[in-house]
Chain A
Amino acid sequence: MDARDTGGAVMADYVNPVGWLVAAAQGLLYVIAAPLFAAWVKRIKARLQNRRGAALMQPWLDLRKLMQKETIVAHTASPVFRAAPYIVFGGTLLAAMVVPLLVVKLPTTAIADVIVLVGFLALARFFLALAGMDVGTAFGGMGASREMLISAMAEPALLMVVFTVAMTAHSTNLSSVIELNLQTGLVLRPSFMFAILGLILVAIAETGRIPIDNPATHLELTMVHEAMILEYSGRHLALMEWAAQLKLMLYAVLLVNVFFPWGMAQSLSPMALLISFVALCVKLGILGGLLAIVETVFTKMRLFRVPLYLNLAFLFATLGLLSHVILETGP
């Protein structure tokens, strides 16, 4: 335990097999919980719209059904089309494993920092967009083109948020950042306020929710993500849908765990893990409810208003950074 107190605490744990096991279990938890979280948001949204909504298990049943269905691939598709679902799912899952879910200081967080996380999400998006263009249909190209525009403008805002947090913690390692926030408790930093606002806007854009994209739409000209996966079926479609749910979950966890890390376990004892699990469920439940409210209140905006929206996100993130530089660190 001495190693924890010295410099390389995060990495000293990488020889610990328990740590790796917990990390793997955490990855599995991501995979299992992601459809549930999506279903939760959907259900609240349905309630807000005076509908009863589907059961929480519905996404799971959908995935199972898709897995069992026949997979059809277009004549014009290349191997990229068939490899893409695996790369997209794998890339998103690897990115998710970098974000501490229940416990800090896992060996997986030392493998990659938050910039690598952004990189893996970008890799997944790259192949998603390529898959959209692969079959050679108009909708696929349209979806890919719009997705790349949105992500190109969202990524700098996301990285500005990351920089704000990283400069406060002097580290891009998510584990270190969360530990710092756990130690200092709830300090009202102006920089974090702006960073949270920026991250929320980015998260909505990146996960394709209203007002940027509508996950429930089947009107061809309004969709972005759905347009790219239009040609997929069967298990390919299941993986793509699952990856999208995973990404939603990832952003939600990033938001709650980095800025509100209360209750997160700092050791591997069962009690701490249990508390952490309950805390996470509560936090995600609240966040999911907020997301559903946002989706109910707002309408989808025109594509060419999206840059304005993302500029706002970038502005918030930059303000966060500047207020950190000006207010929080003196010369």
Chain B
Amino acid sequence: MSNTTIVLFTALSIGSALSSSAVALLSDRLPRLINYAILPLLSLAGMAGVIAGLGALQTGIDLQFTLPFGLPWLPWHIHIDALAGLFLTLIGLLTTAASLYARGYLQEYLSGSDSLIPLGVFSGLFVTGMLLVVIADDAFLFMIAWELMSLSSYFLVTWQHENSANRRAGFIYLLMAHVGALAILLGYGVLAGFGGGFEFALMRDAELSPLWASVAFGLAFFGFGMKAGLVPIHVWLPEAHPVAPSHISALMSGVMLKVAVYGFIRVVFDLLGNPQCSWGVVVLLVGGISALYGVLAALMQHDLKRLLAYHSVENIGIIFIGLGLSLLFAGTHHPLLAALGLVAALFHTLNHAVFKGLLFLGAGAILHSSHQRDMESMGGLLRRMPWTGFFFLIGCISIAALPPFNGFVSEWLTFQTALQAWMLDNGILRSLVPITAAMLALTGALAAACFVKVYGVVFLGQARSRPARRAREVSLSMRISQGGLAALCLLLGIFPTSIVNLLNQIPTELLGQGLTHYAEHSWLWLTPVEAEAASYAAPLLLVGMLLLWAGMAWWLRRGEMRQVRRSDPWDCGFATPNARMQYTASAFAQPIRHVYGLLFDIKEDVKTLPDGSRRHHLQVDDRFWNLLYLPITRIVLSSARRVSQLQTGQIRHYLGWMLATLVVLLWLIM
């Protein structure tokens, strides 16, 4: 694919996203435009993005040019390279799936009271913002695109603003997004100060002293980490993601967090360069804690979308474990291992986008057909929504990192990177890295527990409420988009060598070293370091599995494969079980809550109501609210109160303050 084609498709992608947004202005007058123009344009934007991104990844182009927009002395700089290509692909994939899905999902809102204009307009702008962030090549365009993304997603979160919880979530999101953006801006400020300009090319050549480099790193880590949802600056995420419409939740969790990962990689690996070993340690630890805390918090939830949002914290943690390992190895001059860590992180980025998108779309399908978000009122949905149930199961297996699906491959690569820790000279690092790997192992096992809970409570068993009993399978477009993502989960898991081959462009470009032995024998075997050390042949495993099943089926054919007798459940011969005797989501997580309870604020009590019946009440809160955020809020409020003492209401005082300010400013610039 030639460079011009790639640029044309990128332009087409951004153009269609923008025009979708423009057409959406008319959507209240002509609701049919939603199905016939707005969503198709968004799909087009997505597909063009995928084509452009894949082209960039495959050819490994490095294309820079300027556009005559922006400030007079600073035209927009555009840069399309392999890294941008990966994220263009990601954004494109999920946008396509989400816009196809929205066709069915938005039907019930067509006649509702909520205006569709903001939804359509800001969806288009949101996608435009994300696309622009990844191709920006100067800090100015980057920040404009970043703000476009943040602000438009704020309006999407607060789309159904009649609900006070949504407004609260939106406010927290807006606030934290801006604190994060401020940190990013300051980080760019440091870089621009040394580089002498806002273009990324100048920043790349800047010579920073180690201290200033660390300052820039810290600011970037804080800013992008806040957007990505690292612990402890994750609290906006479980508030904001669940309240957005489900296809937007899929986009936010699947892609917007990844754009933050992109920003981090761009600034730290590309612009700063020469990573220090200590950065790696910090990123590794924060990533490990995020992964573990995210999955534990997810286990405590019984709101399906909130649970999925906490799993985003977990998976972002896993991605940052990979990035941390990469920085650590790069800082200790092991470029090959640094490349391996980066590939593992990028692979997980891709995988998480796909399966988290799939799971959010599935949660949306349940919400759509049963109007329930609380898992305690679901149950038995597999029989009523077989397709959604099947795709959701694939998503669950993938996110629980079970072979042969995609989540497993990237976690396997991360483990393999961590296992190369014996190459490190420093004994502390050598023991720290495997302990982080153990945290990752615990995270994976807990994620499996969590998704047994999710799938068992939501799709298996018996319906726990009337809406769940009346749920119906969702429309074709919603099923197709879920099915596509589910198929991708399997494909990415079965053909990891081809994906690593594509991703390998990125470490080559950023670290000057790619993986060399990843397919030492053939495309069947993935061998991260060398064949002797570790190998994983996913296609052969799948074949083996299928052969085994075929063998079992052949062997058991006498047993009347299809015929089994149906009867009531046995349950040790007690009374016939009813829906209320099943384990609930809270009951399932009770042992884990018991073991890890100290990490959370748990309020549990049983009340006896006047009529003699009893109610069990359980509330699990993030401890970080009390430990970190409420003190900050109190400080801000009390200092605001101090400052407000200036506000005397007398004009003399105000004039006096103005004069003083003027004098100070004059003194400063003298």
Is this pair of chains taken from one and the same complex? Answer: yes
Q: Which residues of A contact B534 (CB under 8 A)?
A: 113, 115, 171-173
Given contacts A137-B581, A176-B532, contact A90 B452 (CB under 8 A): no
| CB atoms of B532 and A173 under 8 A apart | yes
Cβ < 8 Å to B, chain A residues 125-168: 125-126, 129-130, 132-142, 144-146, 148-149, 151-156, 158-160, 163, 166-167
Decide: A170 near B535, CB < 8 A? Known: A115-B415, A116-B541, A142-B583.
no
In the complex, the chain A residue whose C-beta lies closest to that of B381 is A78
Which A40-93 residues have C-beta < 8 A from chain B?
67, 70-80, 82, 86, 89-91, 93
User: Are A133 and B577 in contact (CB-based, < 8 A)?
Assistant: no
A17, CB-defined interface residue at 8 Å: no
Q: How far is the CB of B576 from chain A (nearest CB, A)?
A: 10
A115-B412, A141-B582, A141-B587 known; A134-B541 Cβ under 8 A: no
Q: Give the residues in chain B near A167, CB-CB below 8 Å.
A: 419, 421-422, 434
Interface size for A (C-beta < 8 A) is 90
Contact status B545-A90, CB under 8 Å? yes
In this assembly, does A196 line the interface, its C-beta being within 8 Å of a C-beta of chain B? no
B12 contacts A by Cβ under 8 Å: no
Contact in complex: A172, B419 (CB < 8 Å) = yes
Question: Within the assembled complex, what's the spacing in Å between the Cα atoms of A314 and B435?
Answer: 11
Chain A contacts of B446 at CB under 8 A? 152
Tell me which of B122-130, B397-405, B506-514 binds A: B397-405
A-B contacts counted at CB < 8 A amount to: 285
Q: Which residue of A lies closest to B393 (CB)?
A: A80
A159:B457 contact, CB within 8 angstroms: no
Tell yes or no: A301 within 8 A of B by CB. Answer: no
> Chain B interface secondary structure, helix, strand, loop or mixed?
helix
> B564 contacts A145, CB within 8 Å?
no
Report yes or no: B532 in contact with A8, Cβ–Cβ below 8 A. Answer: yes
A111, A152, A163, A172 pick with most chain B CB within 10 angstroms: A152
Interface assignment of A184: CB less than 8 Å from any CB of chain B:
no
Within 8 A of B (CB), among A221-236: 230-231, 234-235
Task: Check if B221 is an interface residue, CB within 8 A of chain A.
Answer: no
Name the one of A89, A123, A155, A163 contacting B397, with C-beta atoms under 8 angstroms. A123
B380 at interface (Cβ–Cβ under 8 A)?
Answer: yes
Chain B residues whose C-beta falls within 8 Å of the C-beta of A136 in the assembled complex: 379-380, 460-462, 569, 577, 579, 581-582
CB of B581 to closest CB in A, whole Å: 5
Residues from chain A with a CB closer than 8 A to the CB of B435 are: 318, 321
B438 touches A318 (CB 8 A): yes
Which of B430, B530, B577 lies in contact with A137, CB distance below 8 A? Answer: B577
The answer to whether B461 and A76 have CB atoms under 8 Å apart is: yes
Q: Find out whether the CB atom of B531 lies under 8 angstroms from the CB atom of A11.
A: yes
A93-B548, A321-B431 known; A125 vs B448 contact (CB < 8 Å): yes
Minimum Cβ distance to chain A for residue B230 (Å): 21
Residues of B close to A11: CB separation below 8 A: 520-521, 525, 531, 535
Q: Which B residues are in CB contact (< 8 Å) with A151?
A: 445, 448-449
Majority SS at the chain A contact face: helix
Partner of B412, one of A9, A116, A129, A230: A116
Which A residues lie within 8 Å of B594 (CB)? 304
- Chain A residue with Cβ nearest B408: A119
Proximity string of chain B (12-30) to chain A, C-beta cutoff 8 Å, 1 when within and 0 when not: 0000000000000000000
Question: Is A10 in contact with chain B by the CB < 8 A criterion?
Answer: yes
Q: How far is the CB of B281 from chain A (nearest CB, A)?
A: 16
A113 and B532 form a contact (CB under 8 A): no
With a cutoff of 8 Å between Cβ atoms, the chain B residues found around residue A122 in the complex are 400-402, 444-445, 448
For B592, the closest partner residue in chain A by CB is A149
Assess whether B605 is interfacial by the CB under 8 Å rule.
no
Complex Cα spacing A97 to B545, Å: 11
**With A94-B541, A111-B540, A136-B460 in contact, is A145–B588 under 8 Å at CB?**
yes
* Inter-chain contact A321/B591, CB cutoff 8 Å: no
Please, how many angstroms separate the alpha-carbon atoms of A67 and B572 in the complex? 22
Interface residues of B in 22-46 (CB under 8 A from A): none
**Could you tell me if A82 and B442 are in contact, using CB atoms closer than 8 angstroms?**
no
Take A116-B403, A130-B455 as given contacts and tell me if A155 and B595 are in contact as well, using a CB distance cutoff of 8 Å. Answer: no
| Distance between Cα atoms of A119 and B535 in the complex (Å) | 14
List residues of chain B with CB within 8 A of the CB of A116.
403, 408, 412, 536, 541
Chain B neighbourhood of A9, CB < 8 A:
532
Among B400, B427, B570, B589: residue with most chain A CB under 10 A: B570
Partner-binding segment picked from A257-265, A285-293, A322-330: A322-330
The CA of A11 and the CA of B537, in the complex, are separated in Å by 11
Interface residue? B568 (CB, 8 A)? yes
Question: Which one of B416, B568, B572 has the highest number of Cβ atoms from chain A below 10 Å of its Cβ?
Answer: B572
In the assembled complex, A120 has its CB within 8 A of some CB on chain B: yes
Q: Are A72 and B567 closer than 8 Å at their CB atoms?
A: yes
Kindly state whether residue A19 has any CB partner on chain B within 8 Å: no
- Residues in B with CB closer than 8 Å to A145 are 453, 583, 587-591
The docked-state distance in angstroms from the alpha carbon of A93 to that of B402 is 16
CA distance A151 to B452 in the complex (A): 12
Query: Does residue A270 face the partner (Cβ distance < 8 Å to B)?
Result: no
Residues 370 to 407 of chain B near chain A (Cβ within 8 Å): 379-380, 382-383, 393, 397, 400-403
- Give A181 Cβ to nearest chain B Cβ, in Å: 15
Contact B565 A71 (CB under 8 A): yes
A155–B452 contact, CB under 8 A? no
Minimal beta-carbon separation of A23 from chain B (angstroms)? 10
B430 / chain A contacts, CB cutoff of 8 Å: 325, 329
Q: List the B side residues contacting A123 at CB < 8 Å.
A: 397, 402-403
CB <8 Å contact, B559 and A170: no
Chain B's closest residue to A69 (CB) is B559
A108 CB, min distance to chain B CBs, angstroms: 8
Quick check: B535 and A173 within 8 Å, CB to CB? Answer: yes
Tell me which of B537, B541, B564, B589 contacts A72 (CB under 8 A): B564
Asked whether, in the complex, the Cβ of A152 is within 8 Å of the Cβ of B445, the reply is yes
Known: A11-B521, A78-B460. A325 touches B431 (CB 8 A): yes
Residues of A within 8 A of B444 (CB): 122, 155
> CB distance B449 to A160 under 8 Å?
no
Instruction: Tell me, rounded to whole Å, the shortest Cβ–Cβ distance linking B668 to chain A.
Output: 52
Q: Are A148 and B448 neighbours in the complex by a CB distance under 8 Å? A: yes
Residues of A within 8 A of B438 (CB): 156, 159-160, 163, 314, 318
- List of 3 A-B pairs having minimum Cβ-Cβ separation, nearest first: A141-B583, A133-B456, A136-B461
19 contacts between A and B (CB under 8 A): A72-B565, A78-B383, A110-B537, A111-B537, A111-B540, A113-B536, A119-B401, A122-B444, A122-B448, A125-B448, A136-B462, A138-B577, A145-B591, A151-B449, A156-B438, A170-B422, A171-B534, A172-B534, A318-B435
Given contacts A133-B456, A134-B456, A303-B591, 6 further A-B contacts (CB under 8 A): A130-B452, A133-B461, A146-B591, A149-B449, A163-B438, A329-B422
